[in-house]
Amino acid sequence: MSQTVRIRVLQEPEAQDLPLPQYETALSAGMDLRAALDADLVLQPGQICLVPTGLRIELPEGYEAQIRPRSGLAIRHGITIVNAPGTIDADYRGIVSVGLINLSREAHTIRRGDRIAQMVIAPVNRAEWEVVNVLSDTVRGSGGFGHTGRD
């Protein structure tokens, strides 16, 4: 069962007419983020652009916001996130922006209010290194990329 996490959000003036991120269905993992653009943005093939959402968020300690591509935008138009998944740390207070890239062969127009990405709120575990001289053995061992075959 999931738990509800309270996140403080500040809508910049350029985004106050846009809906806050929300879950589109009862079991959605991510909330859609919208483009807070003053004018249409034509994303050319191969072009990367940082698209603002007009939102600033305050995550509780121990959480991150993962910014992920929207599957429909990626599959239908080749628009995805250049650093997917992007991470917003709990101590970041700047405007949430999304680095989009057009991987298609056609220009794509992004308009004000378009849903451009999804945000997933996730807990963060902190790691502590333990330096050792030997690691435990496994069946896989040091087999890397493609080691398990194509099936």
Domain boundaries, the chain: 24-123
When the pLDDT of each residue in the chain is averaged and rounded to a whole number, the result is 94
Q: What is the pTM of this model?
A: 0.87
Which whole number is the average pLDDT over 67-77?
96
Q: What is the mean pLDDT of residues 111-116?
A: 97
pLDDT digits (tens, 9 = 90+) for 42-66: 999 999 999 999 999 999 999 999 9
d(CA 89, CA 93): 9
Q: Which residues pair with 10 in a beta bridge?
A: 56
CA geometry: angle 81, 52, 57, nearest 5 deg:
95
d(CA 75, CA 133): 46
Distance between CA atoms of 139 and 148, rounded to whole angstroms?
A: 11
Level-2 CATH architecture, domain 24-123: Distorted Sandwich (2.70)
